[in-house]
Structure 1
Amino acid sequence: MIDPVFLDTPLYRCEALEPGLGCAVSIKLETANPVRSFKGRGTELVASLLAGNGSRAAVCASAGNLGQALAWSGRGRGLDVTVVASRHATVAKLDRIRALGARLELVDGDHELARERAADIARHDGIRLVEDSLDIETCEGAATIGLELVDAAPSFDAVLIALGGGAMATGVGHVVKALAPDVEVICVQPLGAPAMTHSWRRRRVVTTDSADTIADGVAGRCPIPAVLDDLLLVADDAVLVKEESIIAGMRMLLDHAGLVVEPSAALGVAAILEDRDRFAGRHVVSIVCGSNVDVDAYHRWVGAAAI
């Protein structure tokens, strides 16, 4: 049901990163597809099921990547897609949502307000609300990354997964724990958007009043209880990283892997940078989950001279 364009993304050992990180590092490159993030795996499943049931419309809230993916998947199946996003979302992501033919509605608030507005639209119009991480299809789509990791990687000791709403962490985590139970599943979140990590550590939902991070793709404040329940089953650890480490990770991925990534995609490298001793001598897989980044902001963070 998932278009092959989203499947079997590159997985390779990136030796150029290893001297700076002190461990063996493999990259799972989820940006090598038309929407430049892993979200297309889940939206392909959602859109296929909707079209198969005769549904013609769907709405979602998105920081940008889910909206692009749902727009892409919906366009191919004749679905009418509405995306609700914050007016402060990355401009490049918003422009791409429009270009893919979705109707875009902007709210004067953060992602949580966008979620509320999307739910209102779904109720009013009687259409499908696609809720990332809560809808099992989004988690199942992401889980195919785990299948590919287990099938392709000869052996690895840990997988580092960006943690936002939780679809990728729970999806990949369930597969890895079922098929490679000795592999450590480590979720990584910015220190400025720690709600899900605090929730995992305390084993109950913890919300925050605000989120302050450049990693907009994982900047949620209100974890979904059912997703937390899933995460507690599969995550071995959840760690928080500083903004400067995220930027350093982005710079390393550019300088040593030739990859321009959005901040969320550098969380795994940031986690290694902040705790080299933990990963020393181990083989770590980092999922590079998205590359939809505002060029001007990227220049400010990483440095124009580096590009």
Structure 2
Amino acid sequence: MPQTRLDIARIRAAQQVIDPIFRNTPLYRCEALEPHLGCAVSIKLETANPVRSFKGRGSELVASQLADTGSRALVCASAGNLGQALGWSGRGRGLDVTVVASRFAPAVKLDRIRAMGAQLELVDGDHEVARERAAAIARYDGIRLVEDSLDIETCEGAATIGLELVDTVPSFDTVLIALGGGAMATGVGHVVKALAPGTEVICVQPLGAPAMTHSWHQRRVVSTDSTNTIADGVAGRHPIPAVLDDLLLVADDAVLVQEKSIVAGIRLLLDHAGLVVEPSAALGIAAILEDPDRFAGRHIVTIVCGSNVDMDAYHRWVGTSR
């Protein structure tokens, strides 16, 4: 396959480094969803772990490698889930973790970052502002800057999900992957295209945060001035060029979905799968709802990637989507 920055041998080795608590997450066919979606749907449940998202896989690689070098401190920008994961992984290895986040991030995510023992700094702005501040801290303090999706560990950690998917029997036709910065999309996409090349890889992003999708279609970095989506975990404005290069090699398509479809997906996952999820985790279901003919009669896997959700907002969403 075309060469991305990722390496299958390193991804296999990563499985031995990542705490087993994050690996081999449930994967099951959810028949209760199928009458509503018109296709066979399997769920890869990346929320059944202490940080309630897939980010623990990548954070384990980052923290283990940093501990091996003797370095004791790191800083990252986070929409919420990476910071929580790095806090968890760093705490177990005696690392000092600083997380920079927008003060407008969901309170539940900020509270969980603090609970994991990380130092939290809030900025008046969005995730891109947090990225700039994290980089400044790293330069000033001389500590490791962890950049989600750019740092290969975050991608190859997420890629271990792909190894678990391709070992599945029976196989599936399509995998739907939430697209934000691109760590999960490039990681899982790399493995799927290397080991199950006949499987379609489709990335899904909100219409209100379309930068990476527009970049994929135009084959160049396209930034946006703002975002407007409830899916805060994927609301980036400035794609990273190296990550886009990888995504162009492994994704078969990138699609945008409306907010009402994301809310409908959240409701379906609650009513028919018993899952409380954050909006980013419902993007795959939203994609099926918006284009049912495309997926009719196929076996689809969707990665439920996070469940750190503000419950007040959640009750508003599910209360208006019946």
TM range (shorter): over 0.9
TM-score, length basis structure 1: 0.99
Match of 1:266 in 2: 282
- Pairwise CA distance, 1:305: 11
Distance 2:317 2:119 in 1: 31
Match of 2:107 in 1: 91
Structure 2 residue 288 is matched with structure 1 residue 278 = no
| Match for residue 46 of structure 1 among 62, 84, 100 | 62
Distance 2:61 2:170 in 1: 28
Which aligned pairs between 1:150-299 and structure 2 lie closer than 5 A?
150-299=166-315
User: Alignment RMSD, CA only?
Assistant: 1.0
Alpha-carbon contact 2:45-2:305 (below 8 Å) kept: yes
Matched to 2:281, the amino acid is: A
Secondary structure of 2:244 counterpart: helix
Distance 1:111 1:138 in 2: 17
Distance 2:115 2:185 in 1: 29
Corresponding residue pairs, total: 306
Match of 1:132 in 2: 148
Which aligned pairs between 1:135-150 and structure 2 lie closer than 5 A?
135-150=151-166
Distance 1:154 1:144 in 2: 19
Alpha-carbon contact 2:264-2:321 (below 8 Å) kept: no
Q: Which stretches of structure 1, 4 residues or longer, exceed 4 Å deviation after superposition?
A: none
Secondary structure of 2:51 counterpart: coil
Distance 2:139 2:170 in 1: 47
- Pairwise CA distance, 1:153: 3.9
Match of 1:73 in 2: 89
Structure 1 residues 103, 234: CA separation in 2 closer, same or farther (over 3 Å shift)?
same
Matched to 1:206, the amino acid is: V
Matched to 2:269, the amino acid is: L
Give CA deviations for 1:85-112 in whole Å, capped at 9, x if unaligned. Answer: 0000000000000011000000000000
Distance 2:143 2:318 in 1: 41
Identity of aligned residues (%): 86
Matched to 1:218, the amino acid is: V
